[in-house]
Structure 1
Amino acid sequence: MGVFALSAGSKKELLNVHEALVSVVERAVRISVQEFAVHDGIRTLAEQQKMVQSGASQTMDSRHLTGHAVDLVPYINGKLRWEWPPIYLIADAMRIGASELKVPLRWGGAWDVEFTDSTEPPQDLVAKYVSRRKKLGLSAFIDGPHFELMHS
């Protein structure tokens, strides 16, 4: 069990995010073995355009625009760190929280699976996603910090 809580900045990022996703994030931070921050919740069109221009996002139809997505980044030694091992730990906590709350989630580490229903380690999901994309002759856009509600 984790001993972490959301910072004031993370709570601010969750303003206007869909309540089901907020509940999952709140549950995940309580059970995570890795501290994290909510780096992005809802985005404006201008913010999303900058993300696409920089290559950090591939769509102007992001679920961040409607409050249906969050980016969770590991917080290590007082700094946000984009490193895979701690991202996998956060992914595990999000999957457990979403399963407990029965909230279907998609994870940016494996876009083509319903993350809540998966049981494989996150690193295996990423590897298999990349492999499936390569077999189709497509590139794999991997966004480990990204979690979004599945379309209903």
Structure 2
Amino acid sequence: MSFRLSERSLKRLAGVHPRLVALVREAAALSPVEFMVTEGLRTPERQAALVRAGASRTKRSRHLTGHAVDVAALVDGQVRWDWPLYPRIAAAFKAAAGRQGTAVVWGGDWSRLRDGPHFELDRKVFP
């Protein structure tokens, strides 16, 4: 399945590292599950609010530098958080990363606090 990112998703990529933007675009073309970008670049104030709300555990998020994005799966136009959808989206991101030679980390692979909607450029390659 191939789909195009919405204008809203594209706007949410403003300020995101160009390599990650290219990755998101190609992942959209490869993904069997449609998704939207929910968040890219964050302000320190937004990140602090997410930490206070318990939605994040760090004030050093890769979102602060434009090195991370969050996505949401879309099924029949509705946002879905069902876990089985996110490994399918992640497979598209990883395939796109391999094709582009871009090191990416999926939050769903983390051993603690798995974060299925989260993708970031690898810190080792993109400090």
Whether TM-score is above 0.5 comes out as yes
Counterpart Cα distance in 2 of 1:46 and 1:77: 34
Deviation of the 1:83 alpha carbon: 1.3
- Say which one has the larger Rg: 1
Give 1:70's aligned residue: 69
Counterpart Cα distance in 1 of 2:108 and 2:12: 21
TM-score, normalised to structure 1, is 0.79
Runs of 5+ unmatched residues, structure 1: 112-128, 130-139
Aligned 1:115-134 pairs, distance under 5 A: 129=111
Aligned 1:6-25 pairs, distance under 5 A: 6-25=5-24
Identity in percent: 44
Counterpart Cα distance in 2 of 1:3 and 1:102: 21
SS of the residue 2:23 aligns to: helix
* Structure with more of its chain in strand, by fraction: 2
Q: Deviations over 1:16-53 (max 9, x none)?
A: 10000011100000011100000110011111111111
Amino acid at match of 1:72: V
RMSD: 0.9
Give 2:27's aligned residue: 28
Counterpart Cα distance in 1 of 2:21 and 2:29: 13
TM-score, normalised to structure 2, is 0.93
Which stretches of structure 1, 4 residues or longer, exceed 2 Å deviation after superposition? none
* Structure with more of its chain in helix, by fraction: 1
Determine if the alignment matches structure 1 residue 60 to structure 2 residue 59. yes
Number of aligned residue pairs: 124
Deviation of the 1:3 alpha carbon: 2.4
